Structures are given as C-alpha cells and as structure tokens.
Structure 1
Amino acid sequence: MADKEVQEANEAYLDAYAARKKEEAAYNNAERLEKLISRELTRRTGRSDRENRNNRWSA
C-alpha cells in the first residue's frame, strides 16, 4: 500500500514539475518578446525624430 502511495505522490510531483517548467518557459518567452518590442519601439520613435530634424534643415 505504501509503495502505491509513494508512486502516486511521485507522479503528482513530476506533473507539477513539468507544469512549472512549461509556465517558466512561457514567461521567459513573453519577457523576451516584451524587451524586443520595447527596443524596436524605441528605435523607431528615435528614428522619426532624426528624420524630422533632417527634413526641417535640408533644402
């Protein structure tokens, strides 16, 4: 009887571990994409400022 309980507890542990790893991977991917989008937006908004300055002062 105890062996069956230990096996069930081990399976529950492994299921929880697998779920945590999946959630961690999803979180890390979302965080990576958030940083990518932030950099891209910063780059694009900075570029438009330079383009506006260049257009104002060029003939």
Structure 2
Amino acid sequence: METAQENRLNPFLYLTYLLEKLPQLPDPQDEKALNALLPWSPSLPLICRVFTPTK
C-alpha cells in the first residue's frame, strides 16, 4: 500500500482493481500481464489515481 501511495494511487481503489483483475488473468504467471498491474504501471485506469490540484 505504501508503494501505491508513493505512485499517487488511491490504495483502496487500487486494491479493489487488483482483486477484480487478478482472478480474470488467463495465465496468472504471465509476466507482461502482471507488470501491467504494478503500482507504477502507466496502464492502470485513471480511477485508481489520485490527482492533486495544481497551483
């Protein structure tokens, strides 16, 4: 969860996303598919991200 926060993700929404996606993976050992779910992956949906207003 710390890594999720460091990557500007909402930990609850990120964990929810993971728990929805992981069981649906055709091959749970597919490195490419797993890399797309890591907290620093640019392919994570915007709903998982935390946006801070700019000044």
Per the shorter chain, which TM-score range? Answer: under 0.3
- What TM-score results when the alignment is normalised by the length of structure 2? 0.28
Structure with bigger RCO (C-alpha 8 Å, 6+ apart): 2
Compare the two structures and name the one with the higher helix fraction: 1
- What TM-score results when the alignment is normalised by the length of structure 1? 0.26
